[in-house]
């Protein structure tokens, strides 16, 4: 019943910008954190950024100063503003959410989106 839907991926030249969005829907009581991971061809999936319900943000070192994560609590949506994009940023970007489904849920559950392609090339 919980679904994460990403959007905003595409093709961009080096130095350009993109903004990704991810909306969570379904049976959700509360969201502890939402974030982004990415996986390039032939590489392991890696953490990119996350933001908690308390607006604490964390980033992987390679994107600090270039990417900004934010959220819209009313819409259960997380955004990733990506500036000064490099070819090394090319990957499928996946949305991640850690949430509590109901008041009676003893633990938080983790969900993933299906991914959106980001290609940075001249």
Q: What is the DSSP string of the chain?
A: --EEEEE--EEE-TT--EEEEEEEESS-SEEEEEEEEEE-TTS--EEEEEEETT--EEE-GGGTTTEEEEEEGGGTEEEEEE-S--GGG-EEEEEEEEEE-STT-SS-EEEE---EEEEE--
Is residue 1 predicted with pLDDT exceeding 90?
no
Beta pairing, strands 30-39 & 46-52: antiparallel
The pLDDT confidence band at residue 113, using thresholds 50, 70 and 90, is very high
Is residue 105 predicted with pLDDT exceeding 90?
no
Instruction: Give the long-range contacts of residues 105-114, CB within 8 A, separation 24 or more.
Output: 105/29, 108/32, 109/2, 111/2, 111/3, 111/4, 111/24, 112/4, 113/4, 113/5, 113/6, 113/22, 114/5, 114/6
Is residue 74 predicted with pLDDT exceeding 90?
no
Is residue 6 predicted with pLDDT exceeding 90?
yes
Over residues 79-99, the pLDDT tens digits come to 999 999 999 999 999 999 999
The answer to whether the Cα torsion of 42, 48, 52, 58 is positive or negative is: positive
Is residue 107 predicted with pLDDT exceeding 90?
no
């Amino acid at each position: 019943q919980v679904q994460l839907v990403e959007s905003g991926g595409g093709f961009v030249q080096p130095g350009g910008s993109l903004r990704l969005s991810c909306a969570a829907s379904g049976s959700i009581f509360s969201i502890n954190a939402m974030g982004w991971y990415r996986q390039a061809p032939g590489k392991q999936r890696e953490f990119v950024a996350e933001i908690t319900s308390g607006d604490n943000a964390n980033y992987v070192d390679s994107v600090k100063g270039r990417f900004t994560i934010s959220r819209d609590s009313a819409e259960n949506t997380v955004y990733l503003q990506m500036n000064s994009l490099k070819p090394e940023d090319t990957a499928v970007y996946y949305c991640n959410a850690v949430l509590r489904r109901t008041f009676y849920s003893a633990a938080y559950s983790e969900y993933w989106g299906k991914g959106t392609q980001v290609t940075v090339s001249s």
